[in-house]
Structure 1
């Protein structure tokens, strides 16, 4: 009698099918990510940002003036200017609308009567049209 040939056991056959399926999935993933990389741009579009900075604060008998620079990428306007205590209590200020083209500096008067104590530290704050803010700490003369 001849030798009987045996087939691969069911366990090994199952493992072999799993390995083939995983390899096919990995190759498909690699192919798709490579394809997606060619159709999506490699650089994100440049976002334009609104940014303002307070350069100085001037206090005299006629009022308080905040010098604001537009250091962002877009034209904006200052819609609020305030003087606050160090505890963030509003001393004076309110809404206004002063145009601030990109790269420029403007003087923004603080609305209202500011009663400041000489030698005391205050915070000047401005708010721009799209919501960016800047603060500057100063000592009243």
Structure 2
């Protein structure tokens, strides 16, 4: 069952947590994501756990997955990362908000110091290589963000 923000009593949750998570959700939606995306559902579930408990985190911690952003626009969520060489990060099990990139969800991504992204298949072969500016929905989000 899809969780909705209206299902959560936000008054019981610390304001800084609500602010952080709603910012994550807003950015994801601006980038082309939708409410059914696992990342959005995970963020809503985290809010729900905060609202049900007297402690400051859900069962997986406050933020189960990190989000890689550029200009405050989410590029993707990921479960873990390692520095594979100086200046190159490998991020695991990514989820993209952009409809054109959803086919790569579950893949691993490396990102280097100049911002180049490389997406790998299960065998470790490159299946996409480029920069965030080459993702049409990302550029649309940049234009919308800086128009304001």
Q: Same fold (TM over 0.5)?
A: no
Larger radius of gyration: 1
Which is bigger in relative contact order (C-alpha 8 A, separation at least 6)?
1
Relative to its length, the structure with more helix (as a share) is 2
TM range (shorter): under 0.3
TM-score (norm 2): 0.23
TM-score (norm 1): 0.23
